[in-house]
Chains A and B, each alone.
Chain A
Amino acid sequence: MEKSLKVLLVEDNLIEIMKMKRTISLLKSKHTIHEAKNGEEALQFLEDKSNLPDIILLDLNMPKISGIEFLKILKADDDLKHIPTIILTTSSNQKDLLECYRTGMSGYVLKPLKYEDYVKKIETVLTYWSINELIKI
């Protein structure tokens, strides 16, 4: 039985947010998306411990707090570090990849050029995490 996931999308690009929302509705999935336009906004959202997301989808290139910095803050926080965090990015920088793995990410997904390919990838990611046993606090 697939569960519906509560997803926090940390993404500063308006069109990327539209892409995700459209994908969710296209897939007719029951997952809910909460968006945060930057790291600060995401941290604010995460302050409410009664409403923590099941997974976080994180863009790496963001102003102010970068994705990697956000991931480090997350993984240093005892209340938050259990939340699986999947990186969504256009850059296949080996250095970033290594650092994210070391910091403790749960996935690193490259955004493909074609929207149809993007839909397929997001569908796979969401399906994978919805069949996983997730921690509920």
Chain B
Amino acid sequence: MREEIEVLQRALERERFARKSAEKILEEKSRNLFTISRELKLTNLHLQQLLDEKSSVLEGIFENINDAYLVIDLQGNILKMNDIAENLFGYNLNEEQLNFTDLIYESDKEYTKNSFITLKEKGSLSNYTIRIVTKSNKIKWIQINASLLFDRNKKPKEAQGIVRDITAIKELELQKEKILHQLEKSNEELKEYAHIVSHDLKSPLRSINALISWIKHDNLDKFDENSLKNFELIEDTLSTMDNLISDILEYSSADADSSNQTKVDLNHLVLELKKVLYIPNHIAINIKNKLPNLVGDKIKFQQLFQNLISNSVKFIDKEKGIIDIDVQDKNTYYQFSVADNGIGIEEKYHKKIFKIFQTLNKNKESTGIGLSIVKKIVNLYQGDIWLESYPQKGTKFIFTLKK
């Protein structure tokens, strides 16, 4: 009997213990559950806030972007558009239905079809430019950036697009093109005109020269020394006139924008010039540092160096003439110099010499145009030119050319 009671008591004890631990587990689980549910609630709240936030951001974008925004279905029907789109197209979706393709300017429809295919294939479309006709029959240029919107199964559902009214830009562009074209034409005409004028002015000089030469030769024994001297003066005058016409022609075409832009080896160019130009034996031309390559019109670089070198040659009065050509790299541009040991130029004339027809020394070779051409070409390459000079000692022309 006693044994039975003990057995029962032990069983009771075990059961109590088991219940206690079960309660403990339960309590623990329920506490866990509580924490999880609280966390879940927090997360939910957070998500809700995020959603609200994003929706309001989107709403804000939709209402406030400066560009028109619209959503269309895959048939082109406009489902939604913002105020700017309504103003741009002149339609109100609350009052009438609108298909985007109906807006498109007739001759741009084909192009639009292709663009729509591209959008479907690639999922997006950028800077696609067409003309549309608004409700008030105005033609506008628009630029569209569009992308597809997908449903849950990743199937394309709709397309959204940002539409920018570029009518004003396009008009300016067209205007600019027109003006450029006109400028090109008038440049061409001017060049042609300069050539015709030069031809028509030079031809009579050739005739006069021939006639003078014949009169002289046919009557050689009949003219006294004085008359023969005068014939020589006429010939010199004709020669001056001829040079003047050539130089004016060169000057007038010096700033014409040229399409012959190539990489020019200036070192090679100057070495070639040394061979071609008339350089008296007593004058030495030295290139102090190797001249660089520059992109530009070779003829213009040639004119530039040729005029400066000839100018130096003309004004060297020393027994041993020196012309030093040098260059310094100044990062965004090169600084060149052409220095001689000639007669030099007084400071008060430093500005004057770049003006057309200004020559300080009247002689038949100098027309006063050479340095004007130099200045024009330097300016064409966004450079500057100035000089350092002392009478009797020499002149150093310094100029910059943009890289």
Q: Which residues of A contact B (CB under 8 A)?
A: 13, 15-16, 18-19, 22, 61, 89-91, 93, 95-96, 111-116, 118
Contacts and interface: CB of A to CB of B under 8 A. Distances in A.
Contacts of B192: 95
B199 A91 contact: yes
Interface string B202-218: 11011101110110000
A91 B192 CA distance: 11
Given A13-B207, A15-B211, A90-B206, A114 B198 contact: no
Contact of B202 (A13, A90, A95, A114): A90
7 nearest A-B residue pairs (beta carbon):
A15-B207, A115-B213, A91-B199, A115-B210, A90-B202, A93-B195, A113-B242
Using C-beta atoms within 8 Å of the partner chain, give the interface range for chain B.
20 to 34
Contacts of B209: 113-115
Interface of B: 192, 195-196, 198-200, 202-203, 205-207, 209-211, 213-214, 235, 238-239, 242
A61 B210 contact: no
Contacts of B196: 61, 91
SS class, residues of chain B in contact with chain A: helix
A44 to B, nearest CB: 25
Contact of A22 (B200, B207, B214, B235): B214
A52 B196 CA distance: 32
21 contacts: A13-B203, A15-B207, A15-B211, A16-B206, A16-B207, A18-B210, A22-B214, A61-B196, A61-B199, A90-B198, A90-B206, A91-B199, A93-B195, A112-B206, A113-B206, A113-B209, A114-B235, A115-B206, A115-B210, A116-B213, A118-B210
Given A91-B199, A113-B239, 20 more contacts: A13-B207, A16-B203, A16-B206, A18-B210, A22-B210, A22-B214, A61-B200, A90-B198, A90-B203, A90-B206, A91-B195, A91-B196, A91-B198, A111-B206, A113-B202, A113-B205, A113-B209, A114-B213, A114-B235, A115-B213
Most B Cβ at <10 Å: residue of A16, A19, A95: A19
Contacts of A91: 195-196, 198-199, 202
Most B C-beta atoms less than 10 A away, residue of A61, A89, A93, A95? A93
A109 to B, nearest CB: 13
Contacts of B203: 13, 16, 61, 90
B227 to A, nearest CB: 18
Given A90-B203, A113-B242, A114-B235, A15 B195 contact: no
Nearest to A113: B242
B372 to A, nearest CB: 20
Contacts of A16: 203, 206-207
A89 B199 contact: yes
Given A61-B199, A91-B195, A91-B199, A113 B213 contact: no
A16 B203 CA distance: 9
A61 B211 CA distance: 21
Nearest to A19: B210
Contacts of A61: 196, 199-200, 203
Contacts of B235: 114
Nearest to B210: A115
B52 to A, nearest CB: 72
Given A15-B207, A19-B210, A90-B206, A113 B238 contact: yes
B210 A15 contact: yes
Contacts of A93: 195
Contacts of A96: 195
A17 to B, nearest CB: 11
A115 B209 CA distance: 6
B205 to A, nearest CB: 6
Contacts of A15: 207, 210-211
B353 to A, nearest CB: 27
A15 B209 CA distance: 11
Nearest to A96: B195
Contacts of B199: 61, 89-91
A16 B199 CA distance: 14
Nearest to B212: A115
A27 B335 CA distance: 54
Nearest to A26: B217
A115 B234 CA distance: 14
Contacts of B198: 90-91
Which of B192, B199, B200 neighbours the largest number of chain A CB atoms within 10 Å of its CB? B199
B231 to A, nearest CB: 12
A13 B239 CA distance: 21
A95 B205 CA distance: 23
A116 B198 CA distance: 22
Contacts of B200: 61
